[in-house]
Amino acid sequence: MKVTFHQLEVFECVARRLSFTRAAEELGLSQPTVSTQVRQLSDEIGMPLFEQLGKTVYLTDAGKELLVAAQAVRSTWSDFEANIAGLQGLTRGTLKLACVTTAKYFAPELLGAFCERYPEVEVRLEIANRDTLFNRMRANLDDVYITSLPPEDIEVEDLPFQENALVVVASMRHPLSGRRDIDLASLAPERFILRENGSGTREIMENHFGQHGFVPRVRMEMGSNEAIKHAVAGGLGISVLSRYAIDANPAHDRLCILDVQGFPLYEKWHLVYPKGKRLSAVCRSFLGFLGNSLDPAAAAGGERKALPKKSQK
């Protein structure tokens, strides 16, 4: 087969966006050009890569197989370019970072500071829920991943870094607002608005509640911190969120942080990548940039050591 990188790039973009129009916009090409590249690729392979039902575009089985191969080729070539730059003593290339949705509140600042030091580096940031993030990890689509809890079914290098404090939030008008040293029993009548099952924040919260024999009454589940904040501010219930998800002044979100016994829950964010993965020069520079905020033993490639938690109130 005579297949070019350009054809694979165009195909991968169409497959990711499931739209020839949006792919053309992203690539800066005309839609006829995109269609021609995909048609030529399909002819070379000898099977259709997409099918269209109405206005909706779907990948065929052959298209799904090619997407996996195209992503692998792109990842391998990107790593090659970064490693060659490293051999030349240059810090340039692409850093591919993926993080869970709550980490979006601090990840851009980390990347911004990193890019100030290494202006030749291109950054790609993907934000996804935890399940999608781990699927990306299985497909080896990114360099490193930020999550509140590492995966249990994937062997990873785990580098704990900065603190993740979980707090109980309520509407500013809530009767418990301003009350000190609230015990969990006082929350028994409350309705909780929680992240979806599979969320790291929810898992940490449920583990803590389980250790104390407390079962929250769940009113609703939502997949977005912003949606939860609006629901809590509207008086629909209380929640447990990362402090990063709340404004420095909670009143700006029409929220208050309740002084509940055992909270904040102090955990760590985790920077992880599959065990055995060969890190690019850019990725190694990023880990070096994070420096002292990483677990030193893990950053050196040794066994992970448990980091002491702050004492809880």
Per-position DSSP letters for 174-239, written without gaps between them: -TTTT--SB-GGGGTTPEEEEEPTT-HHHHHHHHHHHHTT---EEEEEES-HHHHHHHHHTTS-BE
The pLDDT of residue 292 is: 60
Using a 10 angstrom Cβ sphere, with 0-12 exposed, 13-18 middle and 19 or more buried, the burial of residue 38 is buried
Do residues 146 and 234 share a domain? no
243-300 per-position pLDDT tens digit: 999 999 999 999 999 999 999 999 899 999 999 888 888 888 888 888 766 654 443 3
- Compute CA distances 228 → 93, 126, 238, whole Å: 38, 22, 9
In a domain, 309, yes or no: no
In a domain, 224, yes or no: yes
Do residues 58 and 95 share a domain? no
Mean pLDDT, residues 50-57 = 86
The confidence band for 214, taking pLDDT boundaries of 50, 70 and 90, is very high
Counting the structural domains of the chain, the total is 3
Average pLDDT of the chain to the nearest whole number = 86
In a domain, 187, yes or no: yes
Do residues 237 and 284 share a domain? no
Please say if the pLDDT value at position 304 is more than 50. Answer: no
In a domain, 232, yes or no: yes
Do residues 9 and 126 share a domain? no
Range of the domain at 182: 165-267
The pLDDT of residue 86 is: 62
Do residues 157 and 236 share a domain? no
Do residues 147 and 280 share a domain? yes
Do residues 171 and 263 share a domain? yes
The pLDDT of residue 77 is: 78
Q: Is the pTM of this model over 0.75?
A: no
The confidence band for 312, taking pLDDT boundaries of 50, 70 and 90, is very low
The pLDDT of residue 91 is: 62
Which of 68, 98, 115 is a domain's end point?
68
Do residues 286 and 215 share a domain? no
The token pair that represents 275 in the structure block: 């065990």
111-131 per-position pLDDT tens digit: 998 988 888 888 999 999 888
In a domain, 154, yes or no: yes
- Compute CA distances 64 → 47, 60, 70, 208, whole Å: 12, 6, 10, 41
Q: Give the C-alpha separation, 41 to 183, whole Å.
A: 64
CATH of the domain at 56: 1.10.10.10
Do residues 172 and 242 share a domain? yes
Please say if the pLDDT value at position 306 is more than 70. Answer: no
In a domain, 81, yes or no: no
Do residues 17 and 63 share a domain? yes
Mean pLDDT, residues 147-165 = 90
Do residues 58 and 114 share a domain? no
Q: Give the C-alpha separation, 302 to 296, whole Å.
A: 9
In a domain, 73, yes or no: no
Please say if the pLDDT value at position 93 is more than 90. Answer: no
Quote the distance between the C-alpha of residue 84 and its chain's center.
28
Percentage of the chain beyond pLDDT 70 is 88
CA atoms within 13 A on the CB side of 9: 11
CATH of the domain at 180: 3.40.190.10
The confidence band for 303, taking pLDDT boundaries of 50, 70 and 90, is very low
In a domain, 261, yes or no: yes
The confidence band for 80, taking pLDDT boundaries of 50, 70 and 90, is confident
Do residues 216 and 140 share a domain? no
The pLDDT of residue 297 is: 43
Q: Please list the helix, strand and coil fractions of the chain in percent, rounded to the nearest 5, in that order.
A: 45, 25, 30
Q: Give the C-alpha separation, 25 to 19, whole Å.
A: 10
Please say if the pLDDT value at position 89 is more than 50. Answer: yes
Nearest to 73 by CA among 29, 115, 41: 41
